[in-house]
C-alpha cells in the first residue's frame, strides 16, 4: 500500500480507480452504475448522507424532519464494495493524478467532480451575512428555528410595528424554491399559526416574495409563471416581480425607489453558483464558476477529469447557456458518463451526451401546482398530484418514502404539521 493511498486507507487494486467527489444525485447514480464493472469506486462527500434537496423547503416549514429526506451513504453502499470517506476536497494535482482532502491524499485513474452548487449572493456581503439560505439540512433547520423564534419574540412586543417586523417573512428569488417556500409559509399562516399563536393577529403578518426578473419561474413556461403568480396571490402572498433587493442590514430590507420594509426573517433563494476547486486551470471555468465540459463530460483541458450536474457547464446549440441545474440533468449525465468510462477502458468511441427534457414542476400549495411536460402543460389538482408522486418515488429508501407519505397524509387530513420544534444547540461555555 502506497503512502498516498494509506492516508485515506483505501486498499491497492489492479482495477482502475474512479474517485467521485460528491454524493448528490449525479455522484450517487454514477457510483451505483459503475461498481459492478471491475472498477474500484471511491466516493468522497463532506456529509455521510445523500440529501433529497427538492423537499428541503418542507423541512424549513416544519413539514418534514431532515431524516425523512436524507439517506446514509454507508447504507446505500452496503454489499457493493464502494469505498466511502467523509472528506472535503482541497486540491487536485492533475499532473500526478492525485487529490488532496482534509483527511489525506489519494491517487486516481479517473476523477469525477459532482460537487453541486452553493448559494449565490452576488458579492453582497451584508445580504450574505444577515439573510437565511437553504442549501443543506442545517440551513433548513436554522430557517425553521429562526421563524419560530421570531414568533415567540413577537408575543412579547407591545409596539405593533415591532410585532409586524417579527411576523413578516421576505423570500428573495422567484424560482421553484422561492415559490414553494412562499406557498408553504402562506398555508402555515392560514391553517397552523393562528392556532399556535391565538394572541397574535395574523393580519399583521406579511409574506413577501421578491423577484428581480419580470416574472416568476423563469425556467418554466409563461403559462406556468402566470398561474403560479395567481396561486400565490390567492394564498395572500405579496408578489413583487421586477424588484431587485438592494440591501439588508438584519432589520430593514432596502428596495428600489427608496422603499424599505422592516422584516426579521429574510430567506435568500435568488441563485446558485459553484465553488472553485484549487488545481483546476482558470480557463476551465465558465459562467457562475461552472466547469466547462465537452459532450463527454470531460473538463476542458483534462482527459481523465470529468464533471457532472450543477457544477458543470456543457454548451451546445440547444443550450447556449448550459443545461438547467436540476436533478434530471445530473442523473442523465451520470448514466452517459458511466457508459463512456467503460468505453474508454475498452478503447471504443465515446457517446456524446444528449439531454432529454422530461419537464419541470413546482407546487404552491394544496391542490395548487404547475407542470410543464414535453407533451402538455398542467395546473391545479392534477399537477399537484403528479408533483407529489414524482417526488415521493424519487426519494432514496423505502422507509423514507413511507415517512414522507405518512407526514403528507397527516397534513392533508388535519391541515396541520406537528414538527414545529424549536431545537437549539446549547453552548458548553
Q: Where in the chain is the domain with CATH 3.50.50.100?
A: 125-272
403-429 burial, b at 16+ Cβ within 10 Å, e below that, comes to bbeebbeebeeeeebeebeeeeeeeee
Question: Is pLDDT above 90 for 302?
Answer: yes
Query: Across residues 264-293, what is the average pLDDT?
Result: 96
**What does the mean pLDDT of the chain come to?**
94
Q: Measured between alpha carbons, how far is 238 from 283 in angstroms, rounded to an integer? A: 43
Question: Is pLDDT above 70 for 39?
Answer: yes
Q: Measured between alpha carbons, how far is 264 from 163 in angstroms, rounded to an integer? A: 10
Q: Where in the chain is the domain with CATH 3.50.50.60?
A: 3-117+274-345
Q: Does domain 125-272 have CATH number 3.40.640.10?
A: no
Q: What residue has cell string 413577537?
A: 154
Confidence of residue 5 (pLDDT cuts 50, 70, 90): low
- Give the DSSP letter of residue 375: S
Measured in whole angstroms, the distance separating CA 197 from the mean position of its chain's CA atoms is: 31
Q: Which residues pair with 41 in a beta bridge?
A: 18
The phi-psi region of residue 281 (left if phi > 0; otherwise alpha if psi is between -120 and 50; otherwise beta) is beta
- Range in 18-32, 378-392, 408-422 with the lowest mean pLDDT: 408-422
Please give the model's pTM, rounded to 2 decimal places: 0.93
Question: Is pLDDT above 70 for 327?
Answer: yes
Joined grid coordinates for residue 284: 476551465
Nearest to 63 by CA among 422, 420, 424, 423: 420
Specify the pLDDT at position 101. Answer: 96
Q: Measured between alpha carbons, how far is 208 from 233 in angstroms, rounded to an integer? A: 10
Joined grid coordinates for residue 307: 464533471
SS3 content of the chain, % helix, strand, coil (to 5): 40, 25, 40
Question: Is pLDDT above 90 for 9?
Answer: no
Question: Is pLDDT above 60 for 4?
Answer: no
Strand intervals (E) in 283-414: 291-293, 305-307, 312-314, 360-365, 368-372, 377-379
pLDDT tens string 362-398 = 999 999 999 999 999 999 999 999 999 999 999 999 9
Specify the pLDDT at position 361. Answer: 96
pLDDT tens string 90-129 = 999 999 999 999 999 999 999 999 999 999 999 999 999 9
- The rounded percent of the chain whose pLDDT value lies above 70 is 97
Specify the pLDDT at position 233. Answer: 98
Confidence of residue 278 (pLDDT cuts 50, 70, 90): very high
pLDDT tens string 225-245 = 999 999 999 999 999 999 999
Query: Across residues 67-95, what is the average pLDDT?
Result: 96
Does residue 382 sit in helix, strand or coil? helix
Does residue 50 sit in helix, strand or coil? strand
Strand intervals (E) in 231-359: 238-241, 247-248, 252-254, 260-262, 265-268, 272-273, 291-293, 305-307, 312-314
Fold of 3-117+274-345: FAD/NAD(P)-binding domain (3.50.50)
First-to-last C-alpha distance (Å) of the chain: 44
Q: Measured between alpha carbons, how far is 298 from 158 in angstroms, rounded to an integer? A: 61
Query: Across residues 175-185, what is the average pLDDT?
Result: 97
Joined grid coordinates for residue 323: 443545461
Q: Measured between alpha carbons, how far is 359 from 336 in angstroms, rounded to an integer? A: 19
- The rounded percent of the chain whose pLDDT value lies above 90 is 92
Q: Measured between alpha carbons, how far is 417 from 191 in angstroms, rounded to an integer? A: 10
Specify the pLDDT at position 295. Answer: 97
Query: Across residues 66-76, what is the average pLDDT?
Result: 95
Joined grid coordinates for residue 338: 458511466
Q: Which residues contact 60 (CB under 8 A, 6 or more apart)?
A: 134, 139, 140, 141, 143, 144, 147, 181, 184, 267
Does residue 139 sit in helix, strand or coil? helix
Specify the pLDDT at position 374. Answer: 93
Nearest to 135 by CA among 247, 51, 253: 51
Contact 143, 241 (CB under 8 A): no
Specify the pLDDT at position 401. Answer: 95
Q: Measured between alpha carbons, how far is 374 from 355 in angstroms, rounded to an integer? A: 13
Q: Which long-range contacts (CB under 8 A, 24 or more apart) does 194-203 make?
A: 195/416, 196/151, 196/420, 197/151, 197/154, 197/155, 199/155, 200/151, 200/154, 200/155, 200/163, 200/167, 202/167
- Give the DSSP letter of residue 297: S
Specify the pLDDT at position 422. Answer: 80
Confidence of residue 2 (pLDDT cuts 50, 70, 90): low
Q: Measured between alpha carbons, how far is 69 from 327 in angstroms, rounded to an integer? A: 15
Q: Measured between alpha carbons, how far is 372 from 186 in angstroms, rounded to an integer? A: 24
Report the 10 Å Cβ neighbour count for 194: 14
Joined grid coordinates for residue 116: 453541486
Confidence of residue 47 (pLDDT cuts 50, 70, 90): very high
Instruction: Look at the alpha carbons of 22, 28, 34, 40 in this order and tell me if their dihedral is positive or negative.
Output: positive
Q: Measured between alpha carbons, how far is 122 from 172 in angstroms, rounded to an integer? A: 13
Amino acid at each position: 500500500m502506497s503512502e498516498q493511498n494509506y492516508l485515506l486507507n483505501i486498499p491497492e487494486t489492479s482495477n482502475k480507480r474512479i474517485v467521485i467527489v460528491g454524493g448528490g444525485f449525479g455522484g450517487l447514480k454514477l457510483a451505483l452504475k459503475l461498481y459492478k464493472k471491475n472498477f474500484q469506486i471511491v466516493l468522497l462527500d463532506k456529509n455521510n448522507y445523500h440529501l433529497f434537496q427538492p423537499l428541503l423547503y418542507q423541512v424549513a416549514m416544519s413539514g418534514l424532519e431532515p431524516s425523512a429526506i436524507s439517506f446514509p451513504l454507508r447504507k446505500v453502499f452496503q454489499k457493493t464494495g464502494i469505498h466511502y470517506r467523509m472528506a472535503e476536497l482541497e486540491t487536485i494535482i492533475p499532473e500526478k493524478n492525485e487529490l488532496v482532502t482534509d483527511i489525506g491524499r489519494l491517487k486516481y485513474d479517473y476523477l469525477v467532480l459532482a460537487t453541486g452548487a452553493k448559494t449565490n449572493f452576488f458579492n453582497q456581503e451584508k445580504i450574505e451575512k444577515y439573510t437565511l439560505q437553504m442549501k443543506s439540512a442545517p440551513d433548513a433547520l436554522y430557517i425553521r428555528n429562526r421563524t419560530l423564534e421570531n414568533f415567540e419574540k413577537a408575543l412579547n412586543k407591545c409596539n405593533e410595528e415591532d410585532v409586524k417586523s417579527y411576523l413578516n417573512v421576505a423570500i428573495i428569488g422567484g424560482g421553484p424554491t422561492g415559490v414553494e417556500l412562499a406557498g408553504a409559509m402562506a398555508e402555515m399562516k392560514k391553517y397552523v399559526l393562528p392556532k399556535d399563536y391565538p394572541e397574535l393577529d395574523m393580519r399583521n403578518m406579511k409574506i413577501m416574495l421578491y423577484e428581480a426578473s419580470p416574472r416568476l419561474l423563469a425556467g418554466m413556461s409563461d403559462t406556468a409563471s402566470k398561474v403560479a403568480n395567481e396561486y400565490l396571490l390567492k394564498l395572500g402572498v405579496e408578489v413583487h416581480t421586477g424588484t431587485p433587493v438592494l440591501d439588508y442590514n438584519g432589520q430593514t430590507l432596502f428596495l428600489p425607489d427608496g422603499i424599505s420594509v422592516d422584516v426579521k426573517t429574510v430567506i435568500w433563494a435568488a441563485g446558485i453558483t459553484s465553488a472553485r476547486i484549487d488545481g483546476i486551470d482558470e480557463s476551465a471555468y465558465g459562467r457562475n464558476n461552472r466547469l466547462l465540459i465537452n459532450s463527454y463530460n470531460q473538463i476542458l483541458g483534462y482527459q481523465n477529469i470529468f464533471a457532472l450536474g450543477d457544477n458543470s457547464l456543457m454548451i451546445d446549440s440547444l443550450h447556449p447557456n448550459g443545461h438547467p441545474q436540476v436533478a434530471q440533468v445530473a442523473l442523465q449525465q451520470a448514466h452517459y458518463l458511466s457508459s463512456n468510462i467503460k468505453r474508454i477502458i475498452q478503447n471504443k468511441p465515446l457517446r456524446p451526451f444528449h439531454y432529454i427534457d422530461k419537464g419541470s414542476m413546482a407546487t404552491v400549495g394544496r391542490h395548487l401546482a404547475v407542470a410543464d411536460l414535453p407533451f402538455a402543460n398542467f395546473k391545479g389538482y392534477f399537477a399537484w398530484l403528479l408533483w407529489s408522486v414524482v417526488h415521493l418515488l424519487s426519494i432514496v429508501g423505502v422507509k423514507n418514502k413511507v415517512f414522507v407519505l405518512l407526514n403528507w397524509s397527516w397534513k392533508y387530513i388535519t391541515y396541520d404539521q406537528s414538527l414545529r420544534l424549536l431545537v437549539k444547540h446549547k453552548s458548553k461555555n
